[in-house]
Amino acid sequence: MTEHDVAGLVRALRQGDHQAFNHLVRIYQARIWNLTRTYVKDEEEAKDLSQDIFVTAYRSLGHLRDDAKFGAWLYQLALNHCRNRYNRLKRRGFFSNLSLDDPDNPIPLSQGDTPEQQLERRGVNEVVRNAIAAMPETEKEILLLRDLQELSYEEISAILDIPLGTVKSKLNRARLALKERLKKMLE
């Protein structure tokens, strides 16, 4: 769906067509859920957080200045919600309760993996997650948006409201920092 199509749905919503919002949710729900899942690492918590984000988006639509920028605006809103929820959960000790073999902490595994391979893959995945979680907020966000959400540099620039060149340089620095962090953690 193009930016123009999204802008048309936003205009329709502003004019009272509530089905337009259902269409917008369908367009963005998987991406927003993936973002929230990356932050809170729990499926149910991610669902609740995603729902909160869409409810806030619906109620705050009046703050959107450019209908064509709905996607970037929604991501900004989602990132703010994710940061707040992550910090609140962290203060409550939510993340210290997740273990590698917790069924709510799934890691996709190949069908043919031996138990030893599964355990090793889980361990590596946990190390990477911990390394990303320990990164400064700006580095973590840019990595999540580009490498996990697979957004374009232009989309990230709009979401974070920074120049395109800054996105590229920050992403490069974030990847290098992650590489160094992982190297230290694995030694």
Extents of the domains making up the chain: 1-95, 113-187
| Cα–Cα nearest to 36, from 78, 71, 77 | 78
Q: Are 77 and 32 in contact (CB under 8 A)?
A: no
Mean predicted confidence (pLDDT) in 20-36: 93
Predicted confidence band of residue 102 (pLDDT cuts 50, 70, 90): very low
Over residues 93-109, the mean pLDDT reads 49
Residue 151, pLDDT > 90, answer no
Assigned CATH topology for domain 1-95:
Rna Polymerase Sigma Factor; Chain: A (1.10.1740)
Confidence of residue 113 (pLDDT cuts 50, 70, 90): low
Q: Residue 120's pLDDT band (boundaries 50, 70, 90)?
A: low
| 113-187 CATH choice from 1.10.10.10, 3.30.300.130, 3.20.20.10, 1.20.1250.20 | 1.10.10.10
CA distances from 15 to 19, 61, 71, 86, 135 (A): 11, 12, 19, 35, 43
Rounded percentage of the chain residues whose pLDDT exceeds 90: 40
**Helix-strand-coil percent breakdown of the chain, rounded to 5?**
80, 0, 20
